[in-house]
Amino acid sequence: MRPVEEGPLIGVGASPGIAIGKAYLVDRKKVEIPRFSLLEDHRIPEEIERFREAVRRSQEELREIRERVRASLLEEHLHILDAHIRMLQDRSLHHETVRAIEQERINAEWALSKVLEKFRKILLGAEDDYLRSRVADLDFVGQRLLRNLKGEVQESISTIRKQVIVVAHDLSPADTAQMDKSVIQAFVTDMGGRTSHTAIVARSLEIPAVVGLERITERVRTGDTLIVDGVRGVVWVNPSSSVLEEYLRRQTQYRVVREELLTYARLMAETRDGYRVVVRANIEIPDEVESVKRHGGEGIGLYRTEFLYLNRTDFPSEEEHYLTYRRVVEEMAPRSVTIRTLDIGGDKLPQAAQAPEESNPALGLRAIRYSLKELDVFKDQLRGILRASAHGKVRIILPMISGVAEIKQVKEVLGEVQEELRQRRVAFDPEIPLGVMIEVPSAASIADLLAKEVDFFSIGTNDLIQYTLAIDRVNEHVVYLYEPLHPAVIRMLRAVVEAGHQAGISVGMCGEMAGEPLYIPILLGMGFDELSMNTLAIPVVKKLVRSVTLRDSFELTQRLFTFRTAEEIRDEVVRTLRGWFPEEWDDLAAQEEILRTLRA
Binding site for ligand PEP (CB under 6 A): 302, 304, 343, 439, 460-463, 510-511
Strand 12-15 with 209-211, pairing: antiparallel
Smallest distance, ligand PEP to C-beta of residue 483, A = 15
* 460 binding Mg ion? (CB under 5 A): yes
> Minimum distance between the CB of residue 40 and Mg ion, rounded to whole angstroms?
57
Instruction: Please pick, among 79, 84, 197, 295, the residue that the annotation labels catalytic.
Output: 197
Q: Which is nearer to ligand PEP, 130 or 247 (CB)?
A: 130
Q: Which single residue brings its beta carbon nearest to ligand PEP? A: 460
Tell me if residue 278 falls in helix, strand or coil: strand
Q: Which does 286 bind (CB under 5 to 8 A by kind): Mg ion, ligand PEP, none?
A: none
For the chain, what is the total number of helices (H) and then of strands (E)? Answer: 24, 16
The amino acid at residue 44 is: I
Q: How far is the CB of 437 from ligand PEP (least distance, A)?
A: 7
Nearest to 75 by CA among 283, 285, 284, 287: 287
The question of whether 510 is a catalytic residue gets the answer yes
190 counts as binding Mg ion under rule CB under 5 A: no
Alpha helices (runs of H) in 16-160, residue ranges in sequence order: 43-71, 78-88, 91-104, 108-124, 129-133, 135-150
Cβ proximity of 160 and 186 under 8 Å: no
Nearer to ligand PEP, 229 or 284 (CB): 284
Query: CA-CA distance, 212 to 195, in Å (whole number)?
Result: 12
User: In the 8-state DSSP scheme, what is residue 386?
Assistant: H
Work out whether strand 225-229 and strand 234-237 pair parallel, antiparallel, or are unpaired: antiparallel
Q: Which is nearer to Mg ion, 463 or 483 (CB)?
A: 463
Q: With contacts defined by CB under 5 A, how many residues of the chain interact with Mg ion?
A: 3
Closest to ligand PEP by CB, 287 or 439: 439
Cα(582)–Cα(397) distance, integer angstroms? 40
Is 444 in contact with 496 (CB distance < 8 Å)? yes
Beta-bridge partner residues of 530:
278, 508
In angstroms, give the least distance from the CB of 464 to ligand PEP. 7
Give the shortest CB-337-to-Mg ion separation in angstroms: 18
Least distance CB 124 / Mg ion (angstroms): 24
Whether 391 sits among the annotated catalytic residues: the reply is no
Active-site entry in 77, 391, 486, 510? 510
Task: Rule CB under 5 A: say whether 301 interacts with Mg ion.
Answer: no
Q: Look at residue 409 and give the partner it binds from ligand PEP, Mg ion, none, a contact being a CB closer than 5 to 8 Å depending on partner kind.
A: none
- Select from 414, 382, 515 the least CA-distant residue to 461: 515
d(CA 473, CA 302): 21
Those residues whose C-beta lies under 8 Å from the C-beta of residue 102, and which sit 6 or more positions away, are: 44, 48
Of 463, 483, 516, 530, the one binding Mg ion (CB under 5 A) is 463
Window contacting Mg ion (CB under 5 A); options: 81-89, 228-236, 320-328, 435-443: 435-443
Kindly tell me which of 381 and 466 has the beta carbon lying closer to Mg ion: 466
* Active-site annotation, residues: 197, 510
**Interface ranges with Mg ion (CB under 5 A):** 439, 460, 463
